[in-house]
């Protein structure tokens, strides 16, 4: 085959790969076809990589093969992490993806510089800036999720933070503009990269805890769009398509997360700049809560016909999902209808709770999203809240003064009895008091989620014999 | 404006709209696997990294290209493995026999 024919063949492989990517996402729509989706994604990616190795521009293969092997060596352990570690793994992979895109952009710049057209410079500048800020932003996010000691978990905010952050971003943009009009000032390029890296850190440090699902989706979107921009620079339509799909996915997830937290759309695009200091509502008179023992809880549950379990991040922290499965099994054995109500922002990344519960072998047809479960709650005997707080706070529906007013919640308060497993009466992440706990039909179950659930299971088993 | 920019923009717009439509249909059950899968697909940047590293135009380009090859390929491998592992855990009640 002539070189031209090989190039054509490679191009056709890329088109086939793009089709594979699209089908892959299409089949991910349902758990039934999802596995097929992964398979076609794998085949498409493998074909594209293989075809590229035959590209005539690739003159040296040895080091590339070694780099691929090193990549596989890093990738395999990162693919084998525990399910609870998936959020930080995902953040880390956003960093790797963006790093790769940024490095290719940087190489492309130095190969051409300073003889680079204005247009190309603009593209490269934008691509490298978005890529670089995503690298540091994702690393900080991964560190926060991994709960590294030297990375502050709580959001760090200071006065005028938005102005400082935005000026840093503006500086990066000005540097791109300067490079476009004065391409001979090549020394500005590394400064631009540095400023973008700093901005990435500033973007994510003010955000923490409950906002992590939004941040991680946002970084996903940035990583995708930087790959797409790289496709513009290199005139690779395959990268444009893959990046656009990834970017769109992160974007939609960010929007879903934002809606689930009642945040505005501008917050989505620029990150939730210092949004989180919801002041704890003042006037805190001592109100009475009713608490109950595992034994009481077990007898109330056995008397129920319908139970809805609402898990939150606290369940993941306590590693209680396997015990929850046992509880679920024990109740089903008694002929009780058990469903799970999953809030979109429960957990630390989109869909996190579903993965943890699926890992514990809870069939996915019992996992219902917020809108699906809310209609059932008025006919529910017991709503059991495990490690969730703000997403069940009825103040979001009723109290216009509440910082979370308007946020869609799971209406557990509409169930006949509400039971809440909680360590103590400390306020949730947002520091907002939860009136749910003082309702007449609410029972507080104080203790560690895992231990409490397993005690309930024991009492359920005991009452049977 | 270069002609290939226009054609790239064309492709981008179409792919972005297609992506929005496809991803809207993904069940919220699968949002975590969705993110790891799109991550693995996005790792196709590796093909650009292979070209940059293979062209060997400058030492710097080759070195950065090789690092990019390793970084993106690790995403490709790891992303597919973990997506596969997560999806294999999703079972229906009917199929399950404890």
What is the structure's pLDDT at A465? 47
Residue A44 lies in a domain: yes
Residue A64 three-state SS:
helix
Using the 3D structure, point to which of A36, A51, A80 is the last residue of a domain. A80
> Across the strands, what pairs with A308?
A339, A383
The backbone torsions φ and ψ at residue A417, rounded to the nearest 5 degrees and listed phi first, read -130, 140
Q: What is the mean pLDDT of chain A?
A: 87
CB-CB neighbors (< 8 A) of B9 in chain A: 232
Residue A282 lies in a domain: no
Could you tell me if A338 and A328 are in contact, meaning their C-beta atoms sit under 8 angstroms apart? yes
Same domain, A76 and A108: no
Q: Are the beta carbons of A358 and B52 separated by less than 8 Å?
A: no
Residue B75's domain comprises 27-89
Using the 3D structure, point to which of A34, A50, A80 is the last residue of a domain. A80
Facing residue for A350 by CB, picked from B24, B32, B66: B32
Residue A89 lies in a domain: no
pLDDT tens per residue, range A227-263: 999 999 999 999 999 999 999 999 999 888 888 888 7
Residue B55 lies in a domain: yes
Same domain, A306 and A373: yes
Q: Are the beta carbons of A253 and B92 separated by less than 8 Å?
A: no
Residue of B17, B35, B27, B16 lying closest to B82 (CA atoms):
B35
What is the structure's pLDDT at B48? 94
**Is the CB of residue A108 less than 8 Å away from at least one CB of chain B?**
yes
Total number of domains constituting chain B: 1
Residue A288 lies in a domain: no
Same domain, A116 and A255: yes
CA distance A39 to A191: 42
Higher-confidence position of A365 and A425: A365
Mean pLDDT of B6-12: 93
Could you tell me if B59 and A63 are in contact, meaning their C-beta atoms sit under 8 angstroms apart? no
Same domain, A460 and A423: yes
CB-CB neighbors (< 8 A) of A55 in chain B: 50-51, 54
**Is the CB of residue B10 less than 8 Å away from at least one CB of chain A?**
no
Same domain, A213 and A149: yes
Same domain, A120 and A155: yes
Q: Which residue of A has its CA nearest to B26?
A: A29
Whether residue A390 lies in the annotated active site: yes
**Is the CB of residue B88 less than 8 Å away from at least one CB of chain A?**
yes
What is the structure's pLDDT at A396? 86
What is the structure's pLDDT at A270? 56
Domain CATH number, residue A329: 3.40.50.1220
Residue B15 lies in a domain: no
Same domain, A140 and A218: yes
Q: Are the beta carbons of B39 and A246 separated by less than 8 Å?
A: yes
- Residues 314..333 of A with a Cβ closer than 8 Å to B: which? 329
Residue A225's domain comprises 95-277
pLDDT at A277 over 50: no
Same domain, A147 and A38: no
pLDDT tens per residue, range A186-226: 899 999 999 999 999 988 887 766 778 888 999 999 999 99
Banded model confidence at residue A283, pLDDT cuts 50, 70, 90:
very low
**Is the CB of residue A243 less than 8 Å away from at least one CB of chain B?**
yes
Mean pLDDT of A22-50: 94
Total number of domains constituting chain A: 3
What is the structure's pLDDT at A263? 76
| Interface probe with A: pick from B58, B74, B93, most Cβ of A within 10 Å | B74
Could you tell me if B49 and B65 are in contact, meaning their C-beta atoms sit under 8 angstroms apart? yes
Residue B77 lies in a domain: yes
């Amino acid at each position: 085959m002539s070189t031209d024919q090989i190039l054509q063949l490679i191009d056709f492989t890329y088109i086939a790969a793009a089709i594979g990517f699209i089908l892959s996402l299409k089949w991910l729509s349902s758990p039934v076809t999802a596995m097929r989706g992964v398979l076609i994604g794998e085949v498409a990616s493998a074909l594209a990589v293989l075809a590229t190795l035959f590209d005539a521009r690739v003159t040296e293969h040895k080091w590339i093969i070694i780099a691929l092997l090193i990549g596989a060596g890093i990738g395999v352990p990162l693919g084998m992490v525990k399910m609870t570690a998936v959020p930080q793994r995902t953040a880390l992979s956003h960093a790797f993806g963006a790093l790769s895109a940024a490095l290719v952009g940087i190489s492309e710049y130095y190969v051409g510089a300073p003889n680079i057209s204005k247009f190309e410079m603009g593209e490269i500048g934008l691509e490298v800036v978005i890529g670089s800020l995503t690298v540091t932003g994702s690393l900080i996010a991964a560190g926060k999720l991994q709960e590294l000691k030297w990375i502050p978990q709580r959001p760090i905010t200071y006065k005028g933070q938005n102005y400082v952050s935005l000026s840093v971003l503006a500086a990066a943009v000005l540097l791109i503009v300067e490079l476009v009009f004065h391409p001979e000032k090549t020394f500005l390029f590394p400064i631009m990269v540095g400023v973008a890296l700093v901005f990435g850190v500033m973007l994510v440090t003010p955000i923490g805890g409950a906002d992590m699902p939004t941040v991680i989706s946002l970084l996903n979107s940035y990583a995708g769009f930087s790959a797409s921009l790289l496709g513009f620079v290199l005139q690779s339509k395959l990268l444009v398509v893959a990046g656009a799909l990834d970017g769109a996915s992160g974007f939609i997830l960010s929007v879903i997360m934002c809606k689930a937290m009642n945040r505005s759309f501008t917050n989505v695009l620029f990150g939730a700049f210092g949004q989180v200091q919801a002041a704890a509502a003042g006037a805190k008179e001592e109100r009475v809560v009713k608490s109950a023992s595992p034994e009481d809880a077990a007898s109330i549950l056995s008397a129920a016909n319908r139970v809805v379990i609402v898990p939150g991040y606290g369940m993941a922290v306590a590693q209680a999902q396997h015990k929850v499965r046992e509880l679920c099994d024990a109740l089903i054995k008694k002929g009780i209808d058990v469903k799970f109500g999953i809030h979109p922002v429960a957990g630390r990344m989109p869909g996190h709770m579903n993965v943890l519960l699926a890992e514990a072998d809870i069939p996915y047809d019992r996992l219902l999203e917020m809108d699906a479960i809310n209609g059932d709650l008025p006919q529910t005997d017991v709503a059991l809240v495990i490690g969730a707080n703000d997403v069940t706070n009825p103040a979001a529906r009723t109290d216009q003064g509440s910082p979370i007013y308007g946020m869609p919640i799971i209406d557990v308060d509409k169930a006949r009895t509400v039971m809440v497993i909680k360590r103590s009466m400390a306020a949730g992440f947002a520091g907002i008091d939860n009136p749910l706990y003082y309702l007449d039909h609410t029972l507080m179950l104080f203790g560690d989620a895992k231990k409490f659930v397993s005690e309930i299971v024991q009492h359920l088993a005991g009452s049977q014999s | 404006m270069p002609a290939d920019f226009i054609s790239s923009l064309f492709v981008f717009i179409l792919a972005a709209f297609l992506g929005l439509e496809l991803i809207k249909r993904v069940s919220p059950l699968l949002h975590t696997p969705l993110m790891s899968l799109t991550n693995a697909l996005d790792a196709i940047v590796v093909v650009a990294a292979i070209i940059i590293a293979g062209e060997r135009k400058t030492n710097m380009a080759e070195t950065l290209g090789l690092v990019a090859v390793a970084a993106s390929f690790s995403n490709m491998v790891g992303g597919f493995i973990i997506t596969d592992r997560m999806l294999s855990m999703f079972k229906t009640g009917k199929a399950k026999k404890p």
